[in-house]
Amino acid sequence: MMDALTIFAGTANPDMARSIARALGVRLGACQVERFPDGETSVKLDEPVRGREVFIVQPTAPPVNDHLVELLAFADACRRASAASITAIVPYFGYARADKRDGQRVPVAASMVATLLQTVGIAHVVTVDVHTPQLEGFFRVPVDSLTAVPVLADAVRERLSEGTVVVAPDAGRVRMATVFARRLKTPVVVLHKQRESGTKTKVLHLVGDVRDRACLIIDDMISTGGTMAKSIEALLEAGARPEITIAATHGLLLDDARAQLAHASVRAVFVTDTVPVLQEDWPQLRVVSVAPLIAAAIRQFMTDGSLRALG
């Protein structure tokens, strides 16, 4: 069945695409991506895809809009070249946070992006630890959100002290924290926060006991690091040991995220490769690959298998 698929790598994360193709024992499809001086994106397929199952690997990593338009162009090229089906592998779905109207005159951008993806012919979307599960409701095509929790839990297990507690930085991550805790056999603590702006949050109170215990703070993403920094402060004020590990699926690490996490109590920061991690000379940073997970999912799609087998 692998003979019937073609995997194209967008420019957002070509290393991941190569790792996925290698895990499946196939080569990447030949293509060209060019950006004109005015910012327009041009995509050209250098091999036929007629009748083939096409997978486009393209997270909407920063710059989000450039990579989104590139994904749309890829899909449109494949549709016009008569691909049998087009699956978008979007490990990080950047607009998932814009899932509702917080004001009266704002867009629901997640719904808008879903419409765009379907309009250009994408018949299946695969993502990893999507920020808002209700994103699926904006699509009329199948959406599969894989989870990096098993991979991250295995990576952090040996670095955790006995008695460590898993910390959800907000109510929205309780489910994720619970899965971590079940796999690591630890209790769960929840921080309740209030978002003051797009980049600032305030921790209101803590549910659970962290006194004299090491903490593993989990999240689906680290953007500017503000949420993590506030969480660290709240945990230490509540009596937690200055022994904190951080694990998040998407390591965007924008602006001064590294400075926000440069706290003496932080022992390690684990992220995956859903987006390229460009930080260098950061001894605490560990990058775990989810390419094998995505490759396994593609194998299941091609053989009509079940994703339950992926854990």
pLDDT in tens, 92-136: 999 998 888 877 788 999 999 999 999 999 999 999 999 988 899
| 271-283 per-position pLDDT tens digit | 999 999 988 789 9
Average pLDDT over all residues of the chain: 93
Cα gap 254→257, rounded to integer Å: 6
- The per-residue pLDDT for 202 is 62
pLDDT at residue 195 greater than cutoff 80 = no
pLDDT at residue 161 greater than cutoff 60 = yes
Contacts of 79 (CB under 8 A, 6+ apart): 86, 120, 121
* pLDDT over 90 percentage in the chain: 83
Cβ-contact 52, 78 below 8 angstroms? no
- Kindly state the average pLDDT of the residues 4-27: 97
Please state whether the predicted TM-score (pTM) of the whole model is above 0.75. Answer: yes
Provide the angle, in degrees to the nearest 10, between the axes of the packed helices 109-119 and 64-80.
Answer: 20
Residue 255's pLDDT band, with cuts at 50, 70 and 90, is confident
Contacts of 164 (CB under 8 A, 6+ apart): 184, 186, 213, 214, 215, 216, 245
Q: Which of 49-53, 70-74, 200-204, 239-243 has the lowest mean pLDDT?
A: 200-204
Identify the three-state secondary structure at position 39.
coil
Active site residues: 193
- The per-residue pLDDT for 199 is 53
Residue 203's pLDDT band, with cuts at 50, 70 and 90, is low
Phi, psi of 286 (to 5 degrees): -125, 130
pLDDT at residue 198 greater than cutoff 80 = no
Phi-psi region of 184 (alpha: psi -120 to 50; beta: other; left: phi over 0): alpha
* Token pair of 167 as six digits: 């910390």
List, in order of start, the domains of the chain with CATH numbers. Answer: 2-147+291-310 (3.40.50.2020), 149-288 (3.40.50.2020)
- The per-residue pLDDT for 98 is 85
